Amino acid sequence: TENALNATRAAIEEGVLPGGGVALLRAIPALEKLEEKLEEDEKTGLRILKKSLEIPIRLIAENAGFDGAVVVEEVKKNKGAFGFNAQTMKYEDLMASGIVDPTKVVRSALENAASAASMFLITEAVVGEYPEKEEKSKMPSMPEEY
């Protein structure tokens, strides 16, 4: 399919990283080194960023029926490509298992997220819309054929 071709091209261009959210989780220690150089409001942003980098692996684990927080902590205890394989439901070397993400895709996702976040920071107001709640009738509905 087109997605597979694009992923393959991206992998050829910039290589691959361990998939399953592991590469993002492994980036957190590098961010922690920056923390001491930042102002207080910047530290708040950095804490939010660090938490957001845990979300992919947490959601993968939860979608597989595991406690996401437990999986994140288990993966953090280890190094490199060690991660949680939701397909086999085991912790293993994800690179060896073929669970990879193209570096270009991960980098682009981070750049786009940072760009969107910075737009919110310089925006004076944001308008949101709550989805409308459907009122359920007490009467059974009529078939649409009538």
The model's pLDDT over 69-120, given as tens digits with 9 standing for 90+, comes to 999 999 999 999 999 999 999 999 999 999 998 888 888 888 888 888 777 7
* Average pLDDT of the chain, as a whole number: 86
The secondary structure of residue 99, as a DSSP letter, is: -
Question: What pTM did the predictor assign?
Answer: 0.72
Tokens of 51: 């938490």
Name the residue ranges covered by the structural domains of the chain. Answer: 2-108
Given the candidates 3.30.1490.100, 3.40.47.10, 3.30.420.40, 1.10.560.10, the CATH classification of the domain at 2-108 is 1.10.560.10
Residue for token pair 């760009």: 115
User: Where would I find the beta strands (DSSP E) of 79-130?
Assistant: 82-85, 90-93, 100-102
The model's pLDDT over 48-74, given as tens digits with 9 standing for 90+, comes to 888 999 999 999 999 999 999 999 999
pLDDT of residue 36: 84
Cα–Cα distance, 132 to 13 (Å, whole number): 45
